[in-house]
Amino acid sequence: MKPTAAIKRTKTTKHKSDSRVVLAEITRLRDAVAMGRLSDRAALSKFDGESRILLWRVNDMLDAIAKPFEVTAKYIDKMSKCVIPPAITESYNGEFNLVKNNLNELIRMITALRNALESEIDERVSKMVHFPITKKRFAGIREKVAKTFGRVSFLTHLS
């Protein structure tokens, strides 16, 4: 066998081996995403050359997906705990922007609802200064509204 044929065969075998290892790493990442592990990334230190560049781009793609998803998850978590977060001001594109706009609209609507309830309760309580039992009753309702929306500060003037 000629030395050049052995070299070509070695390069081809190495290339096939590299491709299989890269494919295995991409498959591992796909499985991680399917299992909800959005923070998993390719181990770039195990690769070099074009394989490393390809997997670096895969990691970039995962970051581009995971970051807006993490922001969304944090906002939903806050709202589930009755904390109204500020509007999302980061810039997103495409469908990520649609999700951002929908979350911001939800925040705006919850804030408007909270403000309307506070105003209604304040108005009704202020008209009942001569009826202490009823005033206490409305104060209890107001307290429930405050707990529901994660705010206690507007209760201070009732005591």
33: confidence class by pLDDT, cuts 50, 70, 90: very high
- Say yes or no to pLDDT of 46 above 60: yes
What pLDDT shows up at residue 159? 40
Backbone dihedral region for residue 84 (phi beyond 0: left; psi -120 to 50: alpha; all else: beta): beta
For the residues of the chain, what is the DSSP string, one character each? --HHHHHHHHHHHHHHHHHHHHHHHHHHHHHHHHTT-TT----GGG--HHHHHHHHHHHHHHHHHHHHHHHHHHHHHHHHTT--PPPP-S---HHHHHHHHHHHHHHHHHHHHHHHHHHHHHHHHHTTTT-HHHHHHHHHHHHHHHHHTT--GGGGGG-
Domain borders along the chain are: 1-64, 82-159
What pLDDT shows up at residue 150? 58
Q: Sign (positive/negative) of CA torsion 126, 131, 134, 136?
A: positive
- Contact by Cβ (8 Å): 43, 25: yes
Q: What is the pLDDT of residues 97-155, one digit of tens each?
A: 999 999 999 999 988 888 888 787 777 777 766 666 666 666 677 677 666 665 444 44
